[in-house]
Structure 1
Amino acid sequence: METDLLPSFCSHEERTLLSASWVHLIKNVGQCFKDGVKGFRVALHKYLVEIGFNYDFLRNESDRVTAVCRMKERRGCEWRVHALMEHANGWFYIRQLNNVHTCGASV
């Protein structure tokens, strides 16, 4: 009689990836990033990694960032985010967000 060793190596426990929460990093217009442009860029990159699409910067400056889906030209994808720095406090705020992909990426 053979002993089934699989249960001792594979517990079949549900595991959540550490990146799973990144899907919530870019949410809505008015969202604030207290770490300024650096914090916004990090959040944007993590968000796009978790969602699974590439982007291009139309503007990538210290006081404003605009990014679009890389499929904008080829497939006419309308995903876009635009954020500005509030000079009074140095925080970054999302001013425009079209979170709809027409290229097939899922949000």
Structure 2
Amino acid sequence: METDLLPSFCSHEERTLLSASWVHLIKNVGQCFKDGVKGFRVALHKYLVEIGFNYDFLRNESDRVTAVCRMKERRGCEWRVHALMEYANGWFYIRQLNNVHTCGAAV
């Protein structure tokens, strides 16, 4: 009689990656980042890593950041995010967000 050893070596448990929550870091217009431009840039980078596409900065300044999908030039992708600092409190707010990829990347 043969013993099936596979279950002892291969558990088929569903595992969630720690980065899975990053998909929710960039959500909507009006979203606030209390850590200012640094917090926004970190959130944007994590979000794009989790979604799985590359981006380029059109503007990357201390008071405004605009990023577009890297496929904008080649495929005309319309994904774009633009955030500005509110000078009264130093927080960063998303002012424009087109979260639809026309290049085929899934969001």
Whether 1:38 aligns to 2:34 is no
Residue 103 of structure 2 aligns to a residue in which SS? coil
- Larger mean CA deviation between 8-17 and 26-35 belongs to 8-17
**Deviation digits for residues 49-79 of structure 1 (CA, Å, limit 9, x no counterpart):** 1111100000000110000000101100000
Instruction: State the Cα distance separating 1:2 from its structure 2 match.
Output: 2.8
Q: Give distance in 1, aligned partners of 2:40 and 2:26.
A: 9
Q: Give distance in 1, aligned partners of 2:44 and 2:95.
A: 14
Instruction: State the Cα distance separating 1:3 from its structure 2 match.
Output: 2.1
Under a length normalisation based on structure 1, what TM-score does the superposition of the two structures give? 0.96
**Deviation digits for residues 12-33 of structure 1 (CA, Å, limit 9, x no counterpart):** 1111111111111000000000
Q: Give distance in 1, aligned partners of 2:86 and 2:5.
A: 59
Instruction: State the Cα distance separating 1:42 from its structure 2 match.
Output: 0.5
Q: Give distance in 2, aligned partners of 1:60 and 1:97.
A: 16
Moved runs in structure 1, 4+ residues, more than 4 A? none
Q: Name stretches of at least 5 consecutive residues in structure 2 with no aligned partner.
A: none
Aligned-residue CA RMSD (Å): 0.8
Q: Give distance in 2, aligned partners of 1:67 and 1:53.
A: 12
Q: Give distance in 2, aligned partners of 1:9 and 1:20.
A: 25
Whether 1:58 aligns to 2:79 is no
Q: Give distance in 2, aligned partners of 1:8 and 1:100.
A: 43
Equivalent residue pairs, number: 107
